[in-house]
Amino acid sequence: MLATFVLVLINILVYLFFATEASSPFTIKEFSPAMALTIEALKEGEFNRLITNFFFHFDFPHLGYNMLFLLIFGSRCEEIFGTRRFLLIYFISGIFSSLSIFFYPQGSALAGASGAIFGLLGSVLIAQRTIYAHGFVTSLLYGMVFFIIAVTTGFMAHLLGLIMGFVLGYIFTYGEESPSG
């Protein structure tokens, strides 16, 4: 699953780039004003941050758990949907989750790949709905369980990513008898 590994590598390289300049290599939050997504950045026309924010992680644990889940869900998503659709799911879910910035208080900053990763999770669950008893409903319930487990941060970003993943997973598997093949 080459694209998954490339995304993980890009995220790690971005982190390492900033970590070499940070006051501590374990946190790079000091670069948030330049990299994280904020409403202010969008007002200034920095629309690229709708994407670049999910390649920037605030600290080492943030990067670590996101890359672990990207490897798990990304590999399966890429296997099911192929590289092109995998990348579409990743970027569309990531951008959609970035729009959650409008649900947060003024001055909030978004960063990290988790919204895009929740999109991968949602698409995989929907694609595998034929292997679950009660299919579609069970897929939604599994998605909500993962969502609840990770609800401590990025609530709306995670939710919007998951919803977009469900939608794209359904679109890409509509009419297939056994989409999890």
Active-site residues, by number, are 114, 158
| DSSP state letters, the chain | -HHHHHHHHHHHHHHHHHHTTSSBTTB-GGGHHHHSB-HHHHHTT-TTHHHHGGG--SBHHHHHHHHHHHHHHHHHHHHHHHHHHHHHHHHHHHHHHHGGGGGSPTT--B-SSHHHHHHHHHHHHHHTGGGSTTHHHHHHHHHHHHHHHTTTS-HHHHHHHHHHHHHHHHHHHTT-S-TT-
